[in-house]
Amino acid sequence: MKNAAVCFCSFLLGGCFVLWLQSGSSPVSVAAAQPPDAKATSRLAVPRAAIQGDLFSSSADQSLAQDALSLIAPPRVYDANGLAPDEAVSAFVYEANNRSVTNIATRIGAARGLFGENRTADSGSGFILDRTGHILTNNHVIEGAQRILVTLHDGQEHEGELVGADPINDMAVVKIQAAPEDLIPVRFADSSNLKVGMKVFAIGNPFGLERSMTTGIISSLDRTLPVTLARSIKSVIQIDAAINPGNSGGPLLNSHGEVIGINTAIASKTGQNSGIGFAIPSNLVARIVPELIEHGRFIRPEFGIDEVARTENGLRIESLAVDGPAAKAGLRGPEIRRTRRGFVTFETRDISRADVIVGVNGKKTLKPDEFLSEVESHRPGDRISIEVLRDGKVISVQIVLK
């Protein structure tokens, strides 16, 4: 009974307090919704009397009240189109780039068969590099295609011609014949400046839904993405933006609307987005694409080592190209001994005499992929240093790439 009496008294006091507030000032309320503009804000409306001293006895109390109200409803500024800052960035990125993204479909066989069009597949995406009609995509998007169909943002469909491809780095360049005014090129950014946590945007054609955009962040950098059993792409960008079938070959963009990579793969057991996507960095694009356009392939430097065997200590040289850069520089393979017995010549190989590669330019390389990636980051004519284990000691051999 005693507790019930206390509760009842508290209820009466609370009711009296509310009536007193209503008689002395306007009640606390949420501001009426207004169409957002450049100066519009969303905040709680507070009775003037509450701030001027009716409820708070000191200036310190009033200051604390203002601080509390600012935490409850911080102002939100909109632009002239009614967009919040993060929305304005997303809209800008899309408006600046969606016309640069193309749908790429492949067709098996001739353009028309006895019963009409032959089978097509919405293979993936691409994006425009220049006003002469060059379009970049993944090699796996167009690999094996007998016909390539490129659809622009306005629905125009063009026959695509394969200009060049690099399967190892999963890039291909296709060219179409279109009016320059219909071709909107993208802008590239330096991918070496990327940071984990940066916001990213992916535009592509997932499931044939043209020019769809998803957003996310950079989850990690410098990932390695296998493309064959022996080769992989280095410095790959890991993102959590939704990537699905059809996004391959589309651009990955930063908040400035610049391309920082090509969306190329996902990690998924089902083939659908699982929050782990990968993009080839733009700096690798800058190195590969000009040669695809000029030569139709990426010209890799020759170093004259034909075969290596992986060991616990490094990469043992199994064979060298005759008069190749490695042989001329003094690198050693297995010592071959030939003995003749009657009409038969016997050949033995002494692998203990072969050099074991342990590094390139001071970088430790114990895998064939690591060695090839480091060497191929240079151009013909460049001088590189190969560190090898010979007779129990590590020595450095200078090689001029050919």
Q: Which of 212, 219, 248, 373 is catalytic?
A: 248
The count of C-alpha atoms lying within 13 angstroms of the C-alpha of 142, restricted to the half-sphere facing its C-beta, is 30
What percent of the chain is predicted at pLDDT more than 90?
A: 36
Q: Which of 100, 134, 158, 170 is catalytic?
A: 170
Q: What is the pLDDT of residue 271?
A: 56
pLDDT by residue (tens digit) across 251-260? 999 999 999 9
Instruction: Give me the DSSP letters along 15-58.
Output: HHHHHHHHHHSPPPEEPPP----TT----EE--HHHHHTSS--S
Element (H, E) at 236: strand 232-239
pLDDT tops 60 at residue 51:
no
DSSP state of 210: T
C-alpha closest to that of 215 among 140, 268, 277, 270: 277
Tell me what the mean pLDDT of segment 141-147 comes to: 88
pLDDT band at 268 (very low <50, low <70, confident <90, very high): low
Q: Which of 100, 122, 125, 140 is catalytic?
A: 140
The number of residues in the chain equals 402
pLDDT band at 132 (very low <50, low <70, confident <90, very high): very high
pLDDT band at 84 (very low <50, low <70, confident <90, very high): confident
More confidently predicted of 57 and 199: 199
Q: What is the pLDDT of residue 121?
A: 59
pLDDT tops 50 at residue 333:
yes
pLDDT tops 90 at residue 136:
yes
pLDDT band at 289 (very low <50, low <70, confident <90, very high): very high
Give me the chain's average pLDDT, please: 78
Interstrand relation of 315-320 and 335-341 (parallel, antiparallel or unpaired): unpaired
248 noted as active-site residue: yes
Tell me what the mean pLDDT of segment 283-311 comes to: 90
Q: What is the pLDDT of residue 62?
A: 58
pLDDT tops 60 at residue 42:
no
Q: Between the ranges 20-34, 195-209, 379-393, where is the mean pLDDT highest?
A: 379-393
